[in-house]
Structures are given as structure tokens and as C-alpha cells.
Chain A
Amino acid sequence: MAEQGSGLTRRGFLKVSAAAGGALLVGFYIPGCGRRTANAAGHAPDSEPASDPAAFAPNAWVRIDPQNNVTVMVASSEMGQGVMTSIPMLLAEELDADWSRVRAEFAPVAKAYTNPIIGQQLTGGSTAVRGFWKPVREAGAAAREMLVAAAASTWGVPASSCRTRDSQVIHGESGKKLSYGDLAAKAAKEKVPDSVFLKEPSEFRLIGTPARRLDVPAKTNGSAVFGQDVQLQGLLVASVERCPVFGGKLKRFDASKAKAVKGVKDVFAIDSGVAVVADGFWPALQGRKALKVEWDEGPHRNLSSADIRKQFEQAVDKGVKARREGDPESALKKAAKTVEAVYEVPYLAHACMEPMNCTAHVRSDGCEIWVPTQAQTGTQQTAMHITGLPAEKIQVHTTFLGGGFGRRSERDFVADAVQISKHLGKPVKVLWTREDDTRHDFYRPAAYGRLQAALDDSGAPVAWIHRIASPSIMSRVAPGRVNNGIDNTSVEGAKNLPYAIANLEVTYAMVNPGVPVGFWRSVGSSQNAFITECFLDELAAAGGRDPYQLRRDLLRGHPRHRGVLELAAEKAGWDTPAPKGRHRGIAVAQSFASYAAQVAEVSVDQGKVQVHRVVCAIDCGTVVNPDTVKAQMESAIVYGLTAALMGEITIENGRVKQSNFTDYPMLRMEQMPEVEVYIVPSDAHPGGVGEPGTPPIAPAVANAVFAATGKPVRRLPIELES
């Protein structure tokens, strides 16, 4: 029995269309509809297909024009993760569209595009495919059904005698064919189905294939438009001088020299600092350098990383319980052997390749924003707050994102642009420098963990206590989601420890020292997988057990964890000796509804760690595009490896010490390990793909270093005593 689409009633369609502001069927139009389209062949964007009165647009997701092009609206932001291809694949599958005629367009901000998992139009938490898995396929199936009805009535045959393939309706007996383009105008008049049937997985022709990404051609010839590339008539460019100390405020400034710089148009204060507006970025920056600014540095002016560490130390044993099973204290007292360790990880910047930016044009009657954002709803809300305009007067054009990683779910750069444009009444692009980007991030929280465990005579862990002290992201972003002092993003990856250990406690002490924190690829699991997976290797060593076999034993009852663990170990040749001079480490982690295990092959030479090979196994449920899954594992590994080997933001005098790639370095080509990715076949509901590859890499590498040196790695980035 095929899956019955439940969410797609006629009423649902009406609601969707009304929310998007268009008539129901013919001439469906979304105000401010992005025109940036891409397709597999790299064709130039069509001109205004949305306004074509002959186009068939039965819902907010798809439009078919008489030329037989299928345009899919993508509500999620394309930041490299391939969503501009995977979402159209879902729709094209159920529509039976000719993939070579499918193009994608970024959706405007509208309620119809709310991600069902998040409740906002926001791309984060690896939710795009798993959130839109059903509604987008239903939209494709509904459109298909209407096209079939149009063909059947044209031919005077029952709809059940027709089938569809490659954007054509085919009559089974006569072999007559009509293309979707030919049928578009007629289909637009058909009744929107109350409900639809979805394909069985065995019927998939596109889902599960390595279809080529729609955005790649434009990303090889310079034509892809990122936020920093937005160009408008009369566009001004602004650079903002911010207080270097977190929480500081502007006291006064002298702009006389800045205003004398050729090209500088205006200088004025906004909430985040002093804005220098010019006719180009370079004069804006020169003007900014000529500013004299006095700051009230506020309460954090003496804050340092050492202070923050002290705050963690003092708080760590006073946390609230996030999970408790059995009686770990007594188990520790009675144990044959106990192990204790303190683990620490630093704050991390996101370092998107494209520094933060936003372009806005505020007029009295409306506001238009062009921005590389993960958060369309949030962007609209920020603009409403600043301009006082209602939602329908604020248009958000999402550009390509030069990296996101969670940073672009924030709205600080949006507020800059909207405030400056509102002040001037002109279109303005705000562009951050790399230094601004490094020093004014919402950082991956630093974390401090005190761990204790007990082993029985056989070397098996029987008690586990993990006490966490770290800042809370949710206490700023969504305070209502902090329950009884627990921010789930601070304990994820620790609270859900999958190992069969009878006595277990995880506690959390919230410490917010004043450094802004935010979502960073894989969030809490980025630090907690490192801490728990490395501590488990310490237990294996203490109990004389093989780290892989110990995990395997303790993962009884967790078949998907075990599945990826076994696959990674097998492909890495865990049971054979590592190549000469190399050592292996293994780690497994579940995050964002997916499971990943990695084996790292590492050498340590004269205090230097080199990662030669990483074998990754991933179980992300049903796979939409296996090449995208592989690419995301490669990407997540590099992101996590960069942090593990060299990522550290330190605080001195209330400010970030690092500034650019000089002191906040990135992994480069010459340091790139060979990465192999293996996908566990699965028909489970799709899991996340963008983030789950990051958590296991730091512990896999650290455990390999432990194997090489005999000394556990308890702090990131990995530094060896010489």
C-alpha cells in the first residue's frame, strides 16, 4: 500500500496559496519571488516565469511553464549542503519530471515555506530533507495528478489508463503522449486533489541516485551570486566599527577625518557601532580606519579565557541532572578500578569563507533585503522590528551562502544593513571584514567536563558520571526551551550516551561568562562526542580492552550505532595492523537522526600530528542523493578536523585575541587526509546529513593520537607535549 499523503487537503492548498498571496491556480504569483534559478544544464535564469499566465503552479512548490520547464521553489538555504538539488529531487520524483528540465529557485519568505520540524523558515539542525520529505513529495504528486486529469479529459479516457514519465503523460493503450508543458494551461483548471498517493521506495527512479547538483555550473564560472555580490542601482557600501569588548557600548566618536576620505558619504551611529558609508568597500574601510571612537567597555572588559575556565571549574560539580540511571556513586565506591579525567574544549568561530554581509533597501512603503541567510523568518522579523513595517511589506531575497555552519542563522548583519538603509533611505550593502567576522561571532561554546567511571573485574564500565559546565545557546536564542536549567544543546551528545552502562549520571551547570555563543555545525555533539568518545578509549585502555570491541559490546541494543561502527572498522581494516608508523582511532556518534562512525589513521612525528586517512560510515536512513551524502561527510570531516587540530578562540581583556587566518588557521590542501565514505543501506525515514559527520572526527583522531603516544588527549585543539 502506498503512503497516503495526509497533509495535502484541498483546504491545505488554499491555505498555502493564500499565504503566498496569489490566486489559487492560474497565474499563481509570489511577491518578491527570487529569480535566481539554476538547472542541471546550467541554463541562464529565465525571465520572470512566475508571471507567465500560462504557467501551471498548483502550489507553493512547483511551477510548470508551457516550454515544459519545471521550476521547484526551494525553501531552504543553499550553503553547500546540496539542498538546492535534493529538494527538487523529492518533487521531481513524485511528479515524474524530466530531471534535465528541472530548475530550482530560492523561495521568498512566506508561511508556506515553514520547515515543519523547526516551525520557521530556517535552515539548520540538518532538517531540510527530513522536514520537507513528505510535503514536497506530496506537492509533486498533486501536480502530477492534475496533469494526468488534464490529459485524460483531453483524450476522453479514464485517468487510470494514463501513466507518467519524463515530464509526459502517456496513454497506455494508444501510446498517445502530451508533455507537461502542453498540459500546463489545462492542468491549472483541474481540481486540486484532496489527498494523494506517494510512491513506494521500490518505485523511485530519481531518489537514491547521484543526480548532478543544479548549482555546480554557476559555481565554476563566477556567475553564482553570493550576498557580497549583490549589485543594485545606486548601491552604497558600509563597514561598521564595533566595540571590541563583548557587551561594550559607544560613548562618543569623531568622524571628521573619516568623512574627509574620498568616497565616504556618511558616518553615523547604529546599535552595533559606528557605520561608515561610502561608494565602495575600500573607501568605507579607509574611512573606518580614520575614525576616532571611545567605548564604554562595560562589565566584561577584564574577562579572559583563564577566568572563564575558573568559572567552569567552580560550577562543574553544581549542575542539574540531565540523566540518571542506577546508583553511580555506590558503583564507583565498590569498583575494582576507577578512572577520572577533566576534558576541555575552546570557543570556536565559524569562519565561513564569505564574511557576514547583508544588503537592504528600506523605503517608507517597504523593505527589501538581499542576504545570504539561513533564517528567512528571523530576517523578516528583525526588519519588521527596525522598520515598523508589517511582514507583507518586507521581502527577503536569499542569495547563495558562502558557508553557513549555523552562523548565518543569526541576524546581527541584517540589523546592521536595515538600520543603515533606514537612516539613509537608500540601498546599502554592509560587508564585514574577516577580522569583524572572527571577532564578532556567536561562538561554539567552550566546555569543561569532569568525568568519572568505574570498571568491573572484566574491564567493563559499570558506572559513568559526566559533569558538564558550559555556556548555553538557548538561554539567548529561545529561553523558553531551557527546562529546569537544562539546555539540550549543551548536553546533546552526552545525555544520549548509547553505551550499556548500568549506573550513569550526566549533569549540566550553565555558565554564561558573556561571550556570545551560537549554533556551530553539529552544536553540542561537536564537543560532547569528543569528550565521551575519548573518555571511553581511556576506559578501554584502563580495562585492557580493544576500543572497537568494547564499543561493540556496549552497543548491544543499538543496532544502528553498531552498524556504522562495524562498517567503519571493517573498511578501515581495524583487525589488521595499521601501516608502519601509523595508528588508528575510532569513534561513533548519533546526531540529527543519523549515525556516523569514523576511523582515523594518524602518525605522530616530532610533536606533529598528521592525519593520513579517514574511513567514515554513515547511516542517514533513506538516501536522497548518495553523492551529496558523501560530499557532506567529506565536508563535515574537514570542518571538525580543522577544529581538532588548530581551532581555538581565546579571550583577553573581554575581546577575542584572534583576527584572521593568520592566528585562526584553516585546514589546507596539503593537510587533507584521504577520506572514504560508506553508506549503510536503509529504508528508514531520512536523517540529517549536513552535521552528523562532524562529531566523530575529533575523537577518532584524538584516540589515534592516544594510541600513538600512550597519553590521552583531553583538550582541543590537540597539542602534544614536546
Chain B
Amino acid sequence: MPSEKRLRIKTLVMVLAMVVCANAGDLLLKRGMTQIGAVELTAQGIAQAFRLTVANATIWVAIFFLIGFMVSYMTVLSWADYSYVMPAGAFGYAVLTFLAVIFLHESVSPRRWIGVVLICVGVLLVGRTRPRTTEVPSEAVMQCESS
């Protein structure tokens, strides 16, 4: 496979993993914290909330997804441009809106729909540019040089 095409597919897969992990993590965190209830901002209240959060399975699954996000984010940034990954990640806002409509039957304002359309067009524009414009040291190259 030509390296340019391979780079594009690899970047796309990692950005998707990033978006899925970030959204799943945030949603589960929200669900877990709702189970715990409103946290009182006193020393005792925070200590109580801390005990409840570490004992909550949903929160742990959320943390697992958020670590997955951080790992995929760091990995994709090791080869792709920040100015490519950052706007591409905004695709998550569009996905979240569709999920809210399909699964939660939320009503979405026209203003928000316009926002979703702009994000999709913007991500498509960025997605058509080359994912990498700077030189990146690849491990394979470094291994050749050191041997």
C-alpha cells in the first residue's frame, strides 16, 4: 500500500478511536456522577463523594475510556499534525448530537443543526489535506541509524 494512503487510513482510525473513547468516557462519567448525586462542597462532602466515586463501577469504566482517549490522542500526535488532529476531533460534537437525537430523543435547535453542518464541512475540508506536513522520526529509521 502506498505510504501516503496508509498514513491517511491509520490517522483516520486513530481519530475515530479518539472520538469514540472521549464521548463514551464523558457519557459514562456523567452517568456515574448522576448515580452519586450532587456533591456538597465541604471537606466532609468531598471526602464522601471520593469514597463513592472509587466504589462506582461506571466511573471506572469511564476512566478506562478516558485513558483510551489519551493513549490514542498521544499516539496519533506522534505522526500527524496537531492542526489536523485538533479540528478532526471536533467531529465528536456532531456524533454526540446524532446520538442524542437517535437514542435520547432530544430535540435539537436549528442553531445547533447549523453548527453540526459547519463542523462536518470543516472536518471534511481538513480531512482532505495531508495529515503530516513535518518530518517525524520513525522508530524504524532510528533503529537503522543506531545499528
A binds B: no
Interface residues of A (CB under 8 A from B): none
> B residues within 8 Å of A by Cβ?
none
